[in-house]
Amino acid sequence: MNRLDSLFQKKKNNILSIFITAGFPKLNDTASIVKQLQASGADFIELGIPFSDPLADGPVIQDSSTVALANGMTLKLLLQQLREIRKEVNIPILLMGYINPVLQYGIEKFAKDASEAGADGIIIPDLPMQQYLEEYKSTFDQYNLKNIFLVTPQTTEERIRYIDTNSNSFIYLVSSSSTTGKKTGIDGAEDYLSRIQKMNLKSATVVGFNISNRDSFQKACKYANGAIIGSAFVKAVSNSNDVAQSTKTFVDSILN
């Protein structure tokens, strides 16, 4: 069974996901970070595929992408590292990246290699639903790779229903209309999140963007099954000499 499916079956509340750009801050830090995230109690991981032009990201994740690329990270190397990581880590791991690197890698080859390396799903912010359904879905399904859709404060109720119908995993609720890490905290998103909560979607929901600490994590979890922390964590490890220790300190500050 897909690890994401098992997670959302087992756990309904306070699911914590952490995002980290692969190959950041150092090329070989990813394994230590991911292992520590599991040890400290994160429920699933989003592993960023670095891209030269990350349009939906704010400065923190943009910079981490630039550093990772300069470190020599590629999609191929990322999948090699993931294969090694999977020997010790069994929580769900999602890849998050832009469409162009995936396209150049080859859709079918990507789905196969990512799945074999141990990825459970993917988030591609610049792949619209329609294109996914027409050109990607059958391949991703064949390799049991979940495609995660985003919903934003702008998304109409009708479209949320449509996304829910076509989703085969959780739905990513973007907390505000913004690039990543634009604000700290999700104040102001309560009405939107409770509106979605009341829709009783069939899919699980996880809130992301602007979740930065224990307080915003807990707030988000009132309205959804869990929440994702990105920029705040990337920042926390960015100047670290001991990424495992920094990871532990960060996750502890959220959960304990």
Partner 1 sequence: MKAVSKYGVSENGYYGSFGGAYIPEILYNNIEELKSKYLGISQSEKFNNEFSELLKNYVGRPTPLFFAKNLSEQYKTNIYLKREDLNHTGAHKINNAIGQILLAKELGKKRIIAETGAGQHGVATATVCALMGMECIVYMGETDVQRQAPNVARMKMLGAKVVSVHSGSKTLKDASNEAIRDWINNPENTYYLIGSVVGPHPYPDMVARFQSVISNEIKGQLKTILGKENPDYVIACVGGGSNAAGAFYHFLESEDVKLIGVEAAGKGIDSGHTAATLSVGSAGIIHGSKTILMQTADGQITEPYSISAGLDYPGIGPVHAYLNEVRRANYISITDTEALEAALNLTKKEGIIPALESAHALAALGKLQFKKEEIVISNLSGRGDKDLETYTNYLNELKYAKQN
Site residues, partner 1 (CB under 8 A): 51-53, 55-56, 58, 62, 66, 69, 74-76, 99-105, 125-129, 131, 149-152, 154-156, 159, 174, 177-179, 182
Distance CA 118, CA 81 (A): 10
Cβ at position 89, least distance to partner 1 in Å: 25
Residues 6+ apart with CB under 8 A from 104: none
**Comparison of 37 and 211: residue with beta carbon closer to partner 1:** 211
Catalytically annotated residue among 5, 29, 46, 113: 46
Cβ at position 203, least distance to partner 1 in Å: 15
According to DSSP H, which parts of the chain are helical?
Answer: 3-10, 29-40, 59-71, 75-85, 99-105, 107-117, 129-131, 137-142, 157-166, 190-197, 214-221, 231-238, 243-255
Token pair, residue 75, equals: 């999609």
**Comparison of 156 and 239: residue with beta carbon closer to partner 1:** 156
126 noted as active-site residue: no
Cβ at position 151, least distance to partner 1 in Å: 7
**Comparison of 104 and 239: residue with beta carbon closer to partner 1:** 104
Cβ at position 78, least distance to partner 1 in Å: 10
HSE-up (13 A, CA, CB side) for residue 226: 24
46 noted as active-site residue: yes
Catalytically annotated residue among 5, 57, 120, 164: 57
Give, in order, the Cα–Cα distances in Å from 251 to each of 4, 44, 66, 200.
20, 12, 25, 30
Cβ at position 224, least distance to partner 1 in Å: 17
**Comparison of 130 and 256: residue with beta carbon closer to partner 1:** 130
For residue 128, the tally of other CB atoms under 10 A from its CB is 12
Say if residues 230 and 251 touch (Cβ distance below 8 Å).
Answer: no
**Comparison of 8 and 105: residue with beta carbon closer to partner 1:** 105
| Bridge partners (DSSP) listed for residue 149 | 171
Distance CA 78, CA 179 (A): 24
Residues identified as active-site = 46, 57
